[in-house]
């Protein structure tokens, strides 16, 4: 299949240059796109190997990525209230998320991954960095998620959230799943929950594993102040110092999610390292854990959803509005954070985020849009509802808002069925 987009207004995601053009889209991982003057005339012949999309009056640009996701929370929407109303972040974990993830089975994980992939696709998100947890259904969980993502057509970088919170058996199964997944040649991190549920022996094992498979660590950092307090109490140092001493900050593939409660020394350590930070502002507001000024953390900052939803344009807008109060964030800076995932992926040579990942936006604007004012439209105008079609690694996966790779209704019926099964267990 050769894919062409005709009559496109193409926006280069890096320099925001607008170009009226036709595009030939190469198939496969890390494929390129080619701007061409005219597309082949297929009117008079039947050729099933050519697909032409007319993008007249539409915008075409690089698709989006999510820097920190949790597919495991996909079935939470509308679930029953917890037995106790949480009064702080640790109680939110205990009564909501740790109750949910402990009750997941392999079918629920599959349903969670499929519906997350579906909503990512609909929102123009073709690459997902996920952090998975299912302490009593660990075996094969990463493989299941990858399979579901691939069936829908989403590229991924996965990990299992290792922790000591559920005892030695769950911890060791997590290590085995992580190693099996990496050993099979899959793109993955070594995942850790957070400093306060990871003992030194596990931390050491995780860093050794990351070194062995040439990857990095993906971990929550100082999301709540309790993470710092427990680290100071147990190890007599702050979280970033503990993680630095472990060696995990030496990996350019390492992702530290949140990083809210850091002091200036910790911010400087991050600024002088090659690790990445994932900002998840809506989740932080929802959990009432605080917000921070990320401008002090260097430039390796990308955006995630923390599993709240699959809409990166929404995450960017939320980070922009909160960022007005915390750091007077500018249009170029919020756009850079939205797009930094592409830099993270290409610098670390991950597959699945090549130029042949595109969104076609049906964006009817009441005012002119051009290279000079694009960022104003990015912040105040362009939304996921404008995503008309999506191309992932050269393959058309959404056309006119319809998923082509998998039956949407099948995914949604399955996820509803699995959600009921899960809610009964909570
Ligand atoms: Zn998270």
**Cα 235 to Cα 85: distance, rounded to the nearest angstrom:** 31
How close is the Cα of 278 to the center of ligand 1, in Å? Answer: 9
pLDDT in tens, 63-89: 999 999 999 999 999 999 999 999 999
How close is the Cα of 409 to the center of ligand 1, in Å? Answer: 28
How close is the Cα of 131 to the center of ligand 1, in Å? Answer: 7
How close is the Cα of 132 to the center of ligand 1, in Å? Answer: 9
Res 47: pLDDT: 60
pLDDT in tens, 338-358: 999 999 999 999 999 999 999
* Residue partners of 407: CB distance under 8 A and separation at least 6: none
Which of 170, 253, 245 lies closest to 211 in space, CA to CA?
A: 253
Instruction: Work out the average pLDDT over 91-108.
Output: 95
Cβ–Cβ < 8 Å for 218, 243: no
Was domain 2-63+355-408 assigned CATH 2.40.160.20? no
Res 322: pLDDT: 98
Res 48: pLDDT: 66
How close is the Cα of 129 to the center of ligand 1, in Å? Answer: 11
How close is the Cα of 118 to the center of ligand 1, in Å? Answer: 20
CATH architecture type of domain 64-347: Alpha-Beta Barrel (3.20)
How close is the Cα of 167 to the center of ligand 1, in Å? Answer: 21
Least confidently predicted of 38-42, 157-161, 217-221, 386-390: 38-42
Secondary structure (DSSP) of 256-310: EEE--S--HHHHHHHHTS--EEEE-HHHHHHHT-----GGGG-S-EEE--TTS-S
How close is the Cα of 15 to the center of ligand 1, in Å? Answer: 31
pLDDT in tens, 186-214: 999 999 999 999 999 999 999 999 999 99
How close is the Cα of 257 to the center of ligand 1, in Å? Answer: 7
pLDDT in tens, 278-319: 999 999 999 999 999 999 999 999 999 999 999 999 999 999
39 pLDDT band (50/70/90 cuts)?
confident
Reported as half-sphere exposure (CB side, CA atoms, 13 A), residue 329 has a value of: 28
How close is the Cα of 223 to the center of ligand 1, in Å? Answer: 9
1 pLDDT band (50/70/90 cuts)?
confident
pTM confidence score: 0.97
Residue 42: pLDDT above 80?
A: no
Please give the mean pLDDT across all residues of the chain. 96
Task: For residue 213, give Cα distances in angstroms to 119, 207, 325, 403.
Answer: 31, 10, 41, 35
Residue 276: pLDDT above 80?
A: yes
State whether the Cα torsion 390-392-397-403 is positive or negative. Answer: negative
40 pLDDT band (50/70/90 cuts)?
confident
How close is the Cα of 265 to the center of ligand 1, in Å? Answer: 24
Q: What is the dihedral of CA 122, 124, 126, 132, to 10 degrees?
A: -60
Q: What are the boundaries of each domain within the chain?
A: 2-63+355-408, 64-347
Instruction: Work out the average pLDDT over 129-147.
Output: 98
How close is the Cα of 53 to the center of ligand 1, in Å? Answer: 37
* Residue partners of 317: CB distance under 8 A and separation at least 6: 379
How close is the Cα of 424 to the center of ligand 1, in Å? Answer: 25
41 pLDDT band (50/70/90 cuts)?
confident
Give the Cα-Cα-Cα angle 378, 35, 388 (nearest 5 degrees). 40
Which of 73, 129, 77, 131 lies closest to 101 in space, CA to CA?
A: 73
Share of the chain above pLDDT 70, in %: 98
């Amino acid at each position: 299949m050769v894919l062409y987009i005709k009559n496109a207004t193409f926006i280069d995601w890096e320099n925001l240059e607008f170009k009226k053009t036709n595009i030939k889209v190469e198939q496969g991982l890390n494929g390129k796109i080619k701007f061409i003057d005219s597309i082949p005339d297929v009117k008079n012949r039947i050729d099933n190997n050519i697909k032409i999309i007319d993008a007249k009056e539409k915008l075409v640009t690089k698709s989006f990525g999510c820097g920190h996701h949790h597919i495991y929370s996909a079935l939470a929407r509308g679930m029953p209230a917890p037995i106790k109303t949480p009064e702080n972040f640790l109680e939110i974990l205990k009564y909501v998320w740790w109750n949910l993830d402990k009750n997941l089975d392999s079918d629920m994980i599959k349903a969670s991954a499929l519906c997350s992939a579906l909503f990512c696709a609909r929102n123009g998100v073709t690459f997902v960095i996920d952090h998975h947890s299912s302490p009593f259904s660990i075996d094969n969980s990463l493989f299941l998620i990858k399979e579901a993502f691939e069936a829908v057509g989403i590229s991924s970088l996965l990990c299992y959230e290792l922790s000591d919170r559920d005892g030695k058996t769950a911890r060791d199964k997590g290590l085995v799943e992580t190693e099996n997944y990496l050993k099979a040649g899959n793109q993955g991190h070594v995942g850790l929950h957070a400093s306060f549920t990871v003992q030194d022996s596990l931390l050491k094992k995780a860093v050794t594993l990351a070194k062995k498979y040439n990857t990095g660590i993906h971990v929550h950092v100082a999301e709540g102040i309790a993470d710092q307090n427990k680290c100071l109490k147990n190890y007599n140092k702050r979280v970033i110092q503990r993680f630095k001493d472990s060696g995990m900050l030496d990996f350019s593939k390492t992702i530290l999610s949140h990083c809210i409660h850091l002091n200036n020394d910790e911010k400087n350590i991050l600024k002088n390292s090659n690790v990445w930070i994932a900002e998840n502002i809506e989740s932080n507001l929802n959990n009432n854990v605080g917000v921070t000024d990320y401008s002090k953390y260097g430039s390796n900052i990308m955006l995630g959803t923390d599993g709240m939803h699959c809409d990166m344009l929404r995450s960017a807008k939320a980070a922009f509005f909160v960022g007005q109060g915390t750091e007077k964030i500018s249009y170029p800076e919020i756009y850079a954070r939205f797009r930094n995932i592409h830099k993270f992926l290409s610098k670390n040579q991950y597959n699945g985020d090549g130029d042949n990942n595109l969104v076609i936006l049906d964006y009817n604007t009441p005012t002119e849009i051009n290279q000079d004012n694009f960022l104003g439209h990015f912040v105040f105008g362009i939304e996921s509802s404008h995503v008309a079609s999506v191309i992932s690694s050269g393959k058309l996966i959404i056309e006119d808002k319809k998923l082509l790779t998998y039956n949407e209704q099948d995914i949604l019926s399955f996820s509803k069925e699995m959600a009921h099964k899960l809610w009964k267990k909570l």
